[in-house]
């Protein structure tokens, strides 16, 4: 029994976005038929391509010359996904709007780089072109020992866009199975990047309240600020690096006890709520932390922290090291395929587990079977509501990852109720609540004491007629609170019960807490961002300070949104299974597994696999044809060319003087030179992401919203659109705002 039994997907994608999305759909039972070109695209030769193609079937088809055959496949398919450039679609006669009317039953997912109507979507749709243009590279300033923007290594746009394709397609399929009507699902890598806008853009709109906060964000200063004590990257005695992530006071207390640094708790000037000291004392204590961590090896410290059970920390690892991480292995996030290892399934589903296939196989028998049994035709109709309309989600979660995953479902039309403790989600008290506003858009809020009998009964009453429960408690805690899977499924057998935690329910980390720097360090993100060049000889205090700044800047907030995207996709996989098989189930996801997916380009191993391409020492890029360049006016551009020879030909100089030549002319000159060529060239220092999104050109990606205390603001819009419907104006709830309206009794 598979979650996606009988789903047929026609794959017209190139590269990792479509590759990862198709892999997920195939893993969970969809029949994926890939239309291949006679000449493989360079992106399909990437080292991870064999993994993307597992479980798929392939056929050769020239869409322009074999239109009748293509239309027959569309008539037989449930889903068609395409990420070609607009000009390539035009040459092939592929108009997704017209195709939607021609095959009304078909869910059509259209993916572009900058958006369907944006002329920049004619640029090569590489991750780093979008990252540079949207200010992402500017936000990494300070990672390198130089000024200016820094190459953003981790392909978060690919991850976000792939998961958005999965979520958008599955949501549209849920609706299509009810009324037979397909949908046009549109997204872009740029829109998907909105997942990483975690409050700065909102804070900028309330500058009188949040000015100092947004001015301290990554990229706002040339030098990265010193990390807070609870998020400190530290070097252990063997030269290996350990990332701390003790965000909340009780977690920091655990760290102090585990490291015998607890005397700080007796200092009357120690602010236990903020985990901070006055500056002089704080910096003295920071040096004590650095010195203490150098007294033992990284392995010894991790053994201590795991034994303690309440300390948030992880070794900084490469992705290849992460393939052998004990928690990764124990939770099935790596599987054996042939003579190598690959990334495991997206989620662990108790009733409809994934069944990953092997390499791509010939698709001729599958094509024949499809064409012999086409889908029934329906009359075209416009959609008037979002696909998850009527789906009720109860979220009992805190901070970012799981709550943001629930908010992504609200963007798809779900009715989301957030259950908070009486004191509220602790995230409301951090950074003035601007981040909590971002991750709670579109919800209703109730406050409940889950430790009381009345509170547990009230929540079970909510869950009795819900479709989904999302929580991020560690294993064992929900059972103590009366909302374990057995208790909830007893009152609602059809519920999709998703638990999201740090390390997964199995392995040494099962009961440990986690915060965003930990999977960022442990799954290879930091190692990748720094080009694999972390010092392994013991550093003095000055160097420790410098490297701690740089590593914290490299270990950005992306691990939480990376996980949220997987939460949303996994819920939809389980809803699809319930629709087909009538069963609810337990679904497990975790931050380690989700961030393994964000490192999907290198989360595999096989004989002859090329090593991960690393940024150069100055963190400019991956090579002369794919990197940042400083121009003659001190401004920066990012260029992406298929080859160094192509770049040199357009610049008009030998390859060995490219850097000097580009440094001889201003930015505007080069933007003009490359316009209309096959080389993508974008300004890489025009703005930070918060300012990029608020610029008039990007307003189409934003939606009006309103905060009950602050007033009107623009919120990040949904990551995908359905039949070009106007997105809903989702509001962030005040703490407990809907308690009386939604609960039957006082709790």
* Domain CATH for 660: 3.30.1540.10
In a domain? residue 676: yes
Average pLDDT of the segment spanning 567-573: 98
Is 560 a residue whose pLDDT tops 60? yes
In a domain? residue 673: yes
What does the block give as tokens for 432?
């003035």
Say how many domains are in the chain: 1
Task: Judge whether 335 and 603 are in contact, CB under 8 Å.
Answer: no
Q: Which residues pair with 458 in a beta bridge?
A: none
Instruction: Give the integer Cα–Cα distance in Å for 275 and 281.
Output: 12
% of the chain exceeding 70 in pLDDT: 99
Instruction: Give the integer Cα–Cα distance in Å for 349 and 332.
Output: 12
Average pLDDT of the segment spanning 453-462: 95
In a domain? residue 647: yes
Confidence of residue 736 (pLDDT cuts 50, 70, 90): very high
- The CA–CA distances, whole Å, from 538 to 245, 314, 326, 547, 554 equal 22, 18, 27, 12, 20
Structural domain including 630 reads: 621-686
Characterise 745 by phi-psi region: left (phi > 0), alpha (psi -120 to 50), beta (else). beta
Q: Which residues pair with 315 in a beta bridge?
A: 242
Least confident of 18-27, 269-278, 685-694: 269-278
| 3-state SS record for 297-335 | CHHHHHHHHHHHCCCCEEECCCHHHHCCCHHHHHCCCEE
In a domain? residue 82: no
- The CA–CA distances, whole Å, from 331 to 277, 338, 503, 602 equal 39, 20, 8, 19
Q: Is residue 165 exposed (0-12), middle (13-18) or buried (19+ Cβ within 10 Å)?
A: buried
pLDDT at 96: 96
Maximal CA-CA distance, the chain: 79
CA angle 458, 399, 515 (to 5 degrees): 130
pLDDT at 127: 94
In a domain? residue 644: yes
pLDDT per position as a tens digit, 605-646: 999 999 999 999 999 999 999 999 999 999 999 999 999 999
pLDDT per position as a tens digit, 459-515: 999 999 999 999 999 999 999 999 999 999 999 999 999 999 999 999 999 999 999
- HSE of 254, CA atoms in CB hemisphere, 13 A: 20
Interhelix angle 644-651/667-674, rounded to 10 degrees, is 110
| H runs (alpha helix) in 412-540 | 434-439, 453-464, 477-480, 485-491, 517-522, 525-529
pLDDT at 745: 54
Letter string b/e over residues 137-159, b meaning 16 or more CB atoms within 10 A of that residue's CB: bbbbbbbbeeebbbbbbbbbbbb
Q: Is residue 715 exposed (0-12), middle (13-18) or buried (19+ Cβ within 10 Å)?
A: buried
Write out the H or E segment, with its range, that includes residue 470: strand 468-471
What does the block give as tokens for 43?
């992106």
In the block, residue with structure tokens 């704080």: 282
User: Is 359 or 172 the better-scoring residue by pLDDT?
Assistant: 172
Confidence of residue 24 (pLDDT cuts 50, 70, 90): very high
Is 361 a residue whose pLDDT tops 90? no
Confidence of residue 64 (pLDDT cuts 50, 70, 90): confident
What does the block give as tokens for 537?
């000889």
What does the block give as tokens for 85?
């450039």
In a domain? residue 627: yes
Average pLDDT of the segment spanning 413-419: 98
pLDDT at 565: 98
Is 568 a residue whose pLDDT tops 70? yes
Average pLDDT of the segment spanning 668-675: 96
Spatial neighbors of 66 by CB under 8 A, at least 6 apart, are none
Average pLDDT of the segment spanning 405-411: 98
In a domain? residue 736: no
Average pLDDT of the segment spanning 432-454: 96
Q: Which residues pair with 244 in a beta bridge?
A: 313
Instruction: Give the integer Cα–Cα distance in Å for 628 and 681.
Output: 10
Is 221 a residue whose pLDDT tops 80? no
Average pLDDT of the segment spanning 430-448: 95
179 CB neighbour count, 10 Å cutoff: 10
pTM comes to 0.96
Is 747 a residue whose pLDDT tops 60? no
Is 402 a residue whose pLDDT tops 90? yes
pLDDT at 363: 83
> Mean pLDDT over all residues of the chain?
94
Q: Which one, of 252, 321, 228, 298, lies nearest residue 513 by Cα? A: 252
% of the chain exceeding 90 in pLDDT: 87
């Amino acid at each position: 029994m598979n979650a996606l039994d009988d789903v047929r997907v026609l794959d017209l994608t190139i590269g990792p976005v479509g590759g990862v999305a198709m892999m997920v759909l195939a893993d969970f039972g969809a029949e994926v038929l890939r239309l291949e070109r006679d000449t493989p695209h360079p992106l399909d030769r990437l080292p991870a391509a064999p993994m993307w193609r597992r479980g798929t079937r392939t056929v050769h088809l020239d869409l322009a010359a074999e239109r009748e055959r293509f239309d027959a496949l569309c008539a037989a398919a449930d889903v068609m996904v395409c990420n070609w450039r607009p000009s390539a679609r035009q040459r092939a006669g592929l108009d997704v709007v017209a195709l939607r009317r021609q095959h009304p039953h078909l869910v059509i997912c259209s993916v572009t780089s900058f958006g369907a109507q944006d002329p920049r979507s004619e640029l090569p749709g590489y991750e780093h072109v979008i990252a540079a243009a949207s200010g992402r590279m500017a936000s990494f300033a300070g990672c390198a020992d130089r000024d200016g923007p820094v190459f953003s290594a981790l392909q978060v746009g690919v991850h976000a866009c792939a998961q958005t394709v999965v979520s958008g397609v599955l949501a549209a399929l849920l609706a299509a199975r009810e009324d037979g009507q397909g949908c046009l699902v549109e997204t872009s890598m740029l829109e998907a990047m909105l997942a990483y806008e975690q409050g700065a853009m909102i804070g900028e709109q309330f500058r009188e309240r949040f000015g100092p906060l947004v001015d301290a964000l990554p990229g706002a200063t040339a030098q990265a600020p010193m990390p807070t004590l609870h998020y400190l990257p530290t070097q252990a005695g063997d030269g290996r690096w350990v990332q701390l992530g003790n965000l909340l006071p009780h977690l920091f207390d655990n760290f102090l006890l585990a490291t015998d640094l607890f005397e700080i708790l007796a200092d009357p000037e120690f602010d236990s709520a903020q985990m901070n000291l006055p500056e002089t004392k704080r910096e003295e204590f920071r040096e004590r932390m650095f010195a203490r961590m150098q007294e033992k090896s990284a392995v010894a410290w991790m053994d201590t922290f795991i034994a303690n059970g309440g300390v948030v920390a992880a070794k900084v690892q490469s992705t290849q090291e992460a393939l052998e991480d004990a928690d990764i292995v124990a939770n099935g996030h790596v599987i054996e395929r042939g003579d190598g290892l690959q990334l495991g399934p997206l989620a662990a589903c108790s009733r409809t587990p994934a069944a990953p296939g092997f390499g791509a196989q010939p698709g001729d028998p599958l094509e024949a079977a499809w064409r012999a049994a086409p889908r029934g035709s329906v009359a075209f109709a416009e959609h008037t509501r979002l696909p998850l309309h009527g789906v009720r989600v109860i979220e009992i979660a805190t901070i970012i990852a799981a709550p943001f995953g629930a908010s992504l479902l609200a963007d798809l039309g779900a009715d989301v109720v957030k259950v908070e403790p009486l004191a509220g989600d602790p995230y409301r008290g951090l950074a003035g609540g601007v981040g909590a506003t971002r991750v709670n858009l579109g919800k209703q809020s109730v406050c409940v004491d889950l430790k009381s009998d009345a509170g547990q009964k009230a929540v079970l009453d909510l869950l009795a007629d819900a479709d989904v429960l999302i929580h991020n408690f560690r294993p064992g805690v929900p059972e103590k609170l009366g909302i374990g899977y057995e208790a909830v499924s007893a009152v609602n057998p059809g519920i999709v019960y998703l638990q999201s935690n740090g390390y997964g329910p199995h392995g040494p980390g099962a009961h440990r807490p986690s915060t965003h720097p930990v999977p960022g360090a442990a799954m290879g993100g930091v190692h990748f961002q720094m080009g694999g060049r972390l010092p392994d000889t013991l550093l003095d205090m000055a160097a420790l300070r410098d490297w701690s700044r740089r590593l914290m800047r490299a270990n950005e907030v992306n691990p939480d949104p990376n996980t949220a995207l997987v939460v949303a996709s996994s819920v939809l996989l389980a809803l699809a299974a319930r629709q087909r098989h009538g069963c609810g189930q337990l679904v497990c996801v975790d931050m380690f597994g989700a961030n393994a997916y964000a490192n999907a380009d290198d989360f595999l191993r096989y004989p002859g696999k090329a090593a991960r391409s690393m940024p150069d020492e100055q963190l400019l890029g991956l090579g002369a044809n794919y990197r940042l360049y400083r121009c003659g006016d001190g401004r920066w551009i990012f260029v992406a060319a298929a080859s160094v020879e192509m770049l040199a030909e357009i610049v008009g100089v030998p390859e060995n003087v490219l850097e000097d030549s580009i440094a001889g002319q201003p930015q505007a000159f080069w933007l003009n030179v490359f316009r209309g060529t096959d080389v993508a060239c974008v300004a890489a220092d025009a703005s930070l992401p918060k300012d990029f999104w608020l610029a008039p050109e990007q307003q189409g990606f934003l939606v009006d919203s309103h905060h009950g205390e602050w007033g009107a603001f623009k919120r990040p819009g949904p990551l995908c659109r359905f039949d070009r419907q106007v997105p809903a104006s989702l509001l962030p709830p005040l703490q407990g705002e809907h308690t009386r309206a939604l609960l039957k009794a006082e709790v």
